[in-house]
């Protein structure tokens, strides 16, 4: 089974510029997550989708971050304008609707550097 | 809100020896799930082992085992016969139980322990 695909793998931008990340989850996985992992910390959830609807975006800085999941498959996460503190790895994950909640799979992430 | 604490930022172990990584958590839930993930330099989170809180028996996966102490809210990972390939960042994570058909299933991570296996 193919894993969670993310692109680009690396991105360097200047502050105040915009950037977008793409995620393709495992086929059939209804739930998609975006996590932010700042260097030296554990990942923190930004947003969770169930199919193409938002389940939880309470930790998403909505003044600069946006995300969408059209047609309940691929997802994009955008930052506009970027700040220095947005430098981090952005991890996408997906899971199937099952109990217990196993089958939670992560992509390899996008490392963003804001200079 | 749940919190997960890993108090050992770095650890090292000699190849073939045993090492234990510590994790404590705080929750008011009675049923939940706990996980240990490994993150090598490739950045992909790899599931090492999982534990359901309603199970008293500690989970084991080959060289990996946990010591789950529910009353103490402690969830440590023991790696036996350490191998060079075990070198990675290890994260302890907590997941609330499903609360509806939509289900949260969000992971709350600790800050991680960098494990280095020495030859």
* Dihedral Cα B34, B78, B25, A38, nearest 10 deg: -90
Phi, psi (degrees; rounded to nearest 5) at A105: -125, 135
Q: Residue B99: its pLDDT value, please? A: 58
Q: Residue B101: its pLDDT value, please? A: 46
Q: Residue B56: its pLDDT value, please? A: 87
**Per-chain mean pLDDT for chain B:** 92
pLDDT band at B68 (very low <50, low <70, confident <90, very high): very high
CA atoms within 13 A on the CB side of A47: 20
- Distance, in angstroms, between A64 CA and closest chain B CA? 22
CATH numbers and ranges of domains, chain A: 19-103 (2.60.40.10)
Q: Residue A100: its pLDDT value, please? A: 64
Residue A56 to residue B104, Cβ atoms within 8 A: yes
Candidate from B4, B33, B42 with C-beta closest to A100:
B33
A45 touches chain B (CB under 8 A): yes
Q: H helices then E strands: how many in chain A?
A: 0, 11
Mean of the pLDDT values across residues B62-71? 96
A102 touches chain B (CB under 8 A): yes
Q: H helices then E strands: how many in chain B?
A: 0, 12
The CA-atom distances, in angstroms, between B29 and each of A95, B2, B70, B98 are 22, 9, 11, 12
> Which of A53-62, B29-38, B49-58, B75-84 has maximum average pLDDT?
B75-84
Candidate from B91, B101, B106 with C-beta closest to A42:
B91
Task: Please give the Cα distance from A32 to A22 (Å, whole number).
Answer: 12
Q: Residue A104: its pLDDT value, please? A: 84
pLDDT beyond 70 at B48: yes
Chain B window 14-73: which residues touch A at a Cβ cutoff of 8 Å?
33, 42-45, 47, 50, 52
Residue A41 to residue B4, Cβ atoms within 8 A: no
Quick one: DSSP state of residue B72?
T
pLDDT tens string B75-97: 999 999 999 999 999 999 999 87
B93 touches chain A (CB under 8 A): yes
Cα torsion angle, A41, B35, B41, A24, sign = negative
CATH code of the domain in which B75 resides: 2.60.40.10
DSSP element (H, E) containing A61? none
Q: Residue A52: its pLDDT value, please? A: 84
Closest residue in A to B95 (Cα) is A101
Q: Residue B1: its pLDDT value, please? A: 73
pLDDT tens string B97-115: 765 544 467 899 999 999 9
Task: Please give the Cα distance from B112 to B88 (Å, whole number).
Answer: 10
Candidate from B47, B102, B111 with C-beta closest to A42:
B111
Closest residue in B to A106 (Cα) is B45
Q: Looking up tokens 């950045």, which residue turns up?
A: B43
Task: Please give the Cα distance from B102 to B67 (Å, whole number).
Answer: 31
pLDDT beyond 70 at B69: yes
Chain B positions touching A89 (Cβ under 8 A) are 43
- Residue A113 in tokens: 């550097």
Print the domain residue range for B74: 3-118
Q: Residue B42: its pLDDT value, please? A: 86
Q: What is the DSSP string of A22-33?
A: EEE--TT--EEE
Tens digit of pLDDT per residue, chain A (115 long)? 679 999 999 999 999 999 999 999 999 888 999 999 999 999 999 999 988 899 889 999 999 999 999 888 999 999 999 999 999 999 999 988 766 666 689 999 999 999 9
Q: Looking up tokens 């609330």, which residue turns up?
A: B96
Task: Please give the Cα distance from B49 to B93 (Å, whole number).
Answer: 11
Q: Residue A2: its pLDDT value, please? A: 74
Domain count within chain B = 1
């Amino acid at each position: 089974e193919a894993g969670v695909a993310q692109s680009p793998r690396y991105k360097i931008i200047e502050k105040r510029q915009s950037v977008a990340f793409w995620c393709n989850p495992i086929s059939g996985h209804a739930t998609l997550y975006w996590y932010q992992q700042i260097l030296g910390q554990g990942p923190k959830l930004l947003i969770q989708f169930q199919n193409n609807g938002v389940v939880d975006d309470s930790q998403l800085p909505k003044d600069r971050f946006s995300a969408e999941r059209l047609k309940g498959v691929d997802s994009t996460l955008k930052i506009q304008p970027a700040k220095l503190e947005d430098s981090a790895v952005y991890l996408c994950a997906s899971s199937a609707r099952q109990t217990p909640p196993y089958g939670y799979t992560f992509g390899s992430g996008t490392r963003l550097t804001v200079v | 809100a749940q919190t997960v604490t890993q108090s050992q930022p770095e650890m090292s172990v000699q190849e073939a020896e045993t090492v234990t990584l510590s994790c404590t958590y705080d929750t008011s839930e009675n049923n939940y799930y706990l996980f240990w993930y490994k993150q090598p330099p490739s950045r992909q989170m790899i599931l090492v082992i999982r534990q359901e809180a309603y199970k008293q028996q500690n989970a084991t996966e080959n060289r990996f085992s946990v010591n789950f102490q529910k009353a103490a809210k402690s969830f440590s990972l023991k790696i036996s016969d350490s191998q060079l390939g075990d070198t990675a960042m290890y994260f302890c994570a907590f997941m609330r139980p499903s609360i509806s058909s939509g289900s949260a299933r969000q992971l709350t991570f600790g800050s991680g322990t960098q494990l280095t296996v020495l030859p």
